[in-house]
Structure 1
Amino acid sequence: RPIYVDLDVGQGQLSIPGTIGAMAIERPADVEEGFSQVCPLIYHYGYKEPGSNVMLYNLLVTKLAQTVAERMEANRQNAVSGVIINTCGWVKGQGYQMIIHAAKAFEVDLIIVLDQERLYNELVRDLPETVKVVFQPKSGGVVERSRQARVESRDQKIREYFYGSAAQFYPHSFEVRFSDVKIFKIGAPALPDSLMPLGMKAEDQLTKLVTVQPSQQLLHHLISISMAESGE
Structure 2
Amino acid sequence: MTSNEDKKSSFQEFKLDQDNELRFEVESKNEKVFLTLKSGKAEVFGTELVKGKTYDFTSGAKVAVYTWHGCTIEIKGRTDVSYIAKETPMVTYSNCHAALELMRIEAEKDNKKGPTTMVVGPNDVGKSTVCRILLNYAVRMGRRPIFVDLDVGQGQISIPGTIGALLIERPAAIDEGFSQEAPLVYHTGHKSPQANVALYTMLVTQLSNTVKERLEVNKKTRASGVIINTCGWIKGTGYEQILHSARAFEVDVILVLDQERLYNELIRDMPNFVKVIFLQKSGGVVERSKSVRSEARDQRIREYFYGTIKNSMYPHSFDVKWSEIKLYKIGAPALPDSCLPLGMKAEDHLTKLVAITPNPGILHHLLAVSFSEGDDEEIISSHVAGFVCVTNVDIDRQIITLLSPQPKPLPNNILLLSELQFMDSH
Per the normalisation by structure 2, the TM-score is 0.53
Deviation, 1:123, is 0.7
Of 28-37 and 66-75, deviating more is 28-37
Partner AA of 1:84 in structure 2:
I
What is the CA–CA distance in structure 2 between the aligned matches of 1:113 and 1:205, rounded to whole Å? 34
Q: Are positions 1:222 and 2:380 aligned together?
A: no
1:192 is aligned to 336
Partner AA of 2:368 in structure 1:
S
What residue ranges of structure 1 are gaps of 5+ in the alignment?
none
- Counterpart selection for 1:119 from 259, 262, 282: 262
Q: Are positions 1:69 and 2:228 aligned together?
A: no
Would you tell me which structure has more strand in proportion to its own residues? 2
Deviating runs (4+, > 3 A) in structure 1?
none
RMSD (Å), alpha carbons: 1.1
Match of 2:305, SS state, is helix
What residue ranges of structure 2 are gaps of 5+ in the alignment?
1-143, 377-426
Question: Once the two structures are superposed, what CA deviation does each residue of 1:15-73 show, in whole Å capped at 9, x if it has no partner?
Answer: 11000000110011112221111111001111000111101001000000000000000
Partner AA of 1:227 in structure 2:
F
Q: Are positions 1:153 and 2:296 aligned together?
A: yes
Would you tell me which structure has more helix in proportion to its own residues? 1
Q: How many residues align?
A: 232
Partner AA of 1:62 in structure 2:
T
Q: Alpha carbons of 1:66 and 1:230: their partners in 2 closer, same or farther (altered >3 Å)? A: closer
Contact 1:20 1:43 in 2 (8 A): yes
1:40 is aligned to 183
Partner AA of 1:32 in structure 2:
D
Partner AA of 1:11 in structure 2:
Q
Of 105-114 and 192-201, deviating more is 192-201
Question: Once the two structures are superposed, what CA deviation does each residue of 1:169-216 show, in whole Å capped at 9, x if it has no partner?
Answer: 011200000111010111111111111123322111010111111111
Partner AA of 2:208 in structure 1:
A
Per the normalisation by structure 1, the TM-score is 0.97
2:326 is aligned to 182
Residues 32-111 of structure 1: matches in 2 within 5 Å? 32-111=175-254
1:210 is aligned to 354
What is the CA–CA distance in structure 2 between the aligned matches of 1:229 and 1:142, rounded to whole Å? 44
Deviation, 1:230, is 4.5
What is the CA–CA distance in structure 2 between the aligned matches of 1:176 and 1:143, rounded to whole Å? 43
Partner AA of 2:287 in structure 1:
E
Deviation, 1:142, is 2.6
Q: Percent identity?
A: 65
What is the CA–CA distance in structure 2 between the aligned matches of 1:103 and 1:5, rounded to whole Å? 12
What is the CA–CA distance in structure 2 between the aligned matches of 1:91 and 1:137, rounded to whole Å? 17
